[in-house]
Amino acid sequence: MTKREHPLKGEFDTAAARWERTTREDGTPAALEIGYADNGLVALRMAEEPDGDILIYTPTEWEAFVGGVKDGEFDIASWENEPIVEVVEDDKDS
C-alpha cells in the first residue's frame, strides 16, 4: 500500500515521497525515516518497517514538532530512573 489517507490531512503517497533516514550523533543510521510529499505533508516511519504505521504531519504541525525537538521538549535525561511498566492481563474467568 503506497497511498495512505488521513481523514483530515489528505493523502500521503509513500512511494512518491522523498525519504531521508535520520542519523545518530556518530553518523550511523538511526531508526526513523522522514518522508516529504509533494503536497507538503511530512511523515515519520520506522526505517526497518517501511510498510508499517506512519505518522502524518501538516507543514505547520511539522514545524511545531521540529521546534519542540530543538527546544528540548522531548529530551529525557536518562532512562535509568524511569519506572518499569508491567502489563497485566485481565483474568476474565475470575
For the residues 35-63, what does the mean pLDDT come to?
Answer: 94
24 closest CA partner among 42, 41, 5, 47: 47
- Per the structure, the count of domains in the chain is 1
In a domain, 31, yes or no: yes
In a domain, 49, yes or no: yes
In a domain, 21, yes or no: yes
State the residue range of the domain holding 66: 3-71
For the residues 43-66, what does the mean pLDDT come to?
Answer: 94
In a domain, 77, yes or no: no
For the residues 2-14, what does the mean pLDDT come to?
Answer: 87
- Which pLDDT score, from 0 to 100, does residue 39 have? 93
In a domain, 67, yes or no: yes
In a domain, 90, yes or no: no
In a domain, 42, yes or no: yes
Q: What is the pTM of this model?
A: 0.72
| Measured CA distances, 94 to 20, 90, 91 (Å) | 50, 9, 6
